């Protein structure tokens, strides 16, 4: 049997223990691992229709402004071929009564 040096064994155990402890500490410490994103309570698809303008853009008449309807309210200029086809008065803006043709 080959004789190992006791200080080498002690060094290996010390380094192994230090590695295990530091790994456990880094898992527990939040500055090394990013926190998961906490979702806000205000969800995008949960907007109720409150104003007459929102009622115009509520395409499916369900009382909520969904993501597509919110997009139609915020991006009113003609950008795609479908919006160009539905821009009846050719003013470059997709109005509330033209949105139903697009989406």
pLDDT at 36: 59
Using CA atoms in the order 59, 65, 70, 73, what is the torsion angle rounded to 10 degrees? Answer: 60
pLDDT confidence bin for 51, thresholds 50/70/90: confident
Q: Which residue has the higher pLDDT, 26 or 84?
A: 84
Q: Does residue 11 carry a pLDDT above 80? A: no
Count of alpha carbons within 13 angstroms of residue 77, beta-carbon side: 1
pLDDT confidence bin for 48, thresholds 50/70/90: confident
Q: Is the pTM of this model over 0.75?
A: no
In this structure, the number of other CB atoms found within 10 A of the CB of residue 31 comes to: 7
pLDDT at 76: 82
Average pLDDT over residues 6-18: 68
Count of alpha carbons within 13 angstroms of residue 71, beta-carbon side: 10
């Amino acid at each position: 049997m080959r004789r190992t040096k006791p200080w080498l064994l002690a060094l290996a155990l010390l380094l192994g223990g230090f590695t295990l402890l530091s790994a456990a500490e880094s898992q527990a410490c939040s500055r090394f691992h990013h926190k998961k994103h906490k979702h806000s309570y205000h969800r995008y698809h949960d907007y109720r229709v409150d104003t007459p303008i929102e009622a115009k853009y509520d395409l499916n008449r369900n009382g909520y402004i969904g993501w597509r309807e919110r997009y139609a309210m915020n991006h009113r200029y003609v950008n795609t071929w479908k919006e160009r086809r539905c821009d009846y008065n050719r003013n470059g803006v997709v109005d509330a009564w033209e949105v139903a043709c697009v989406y």
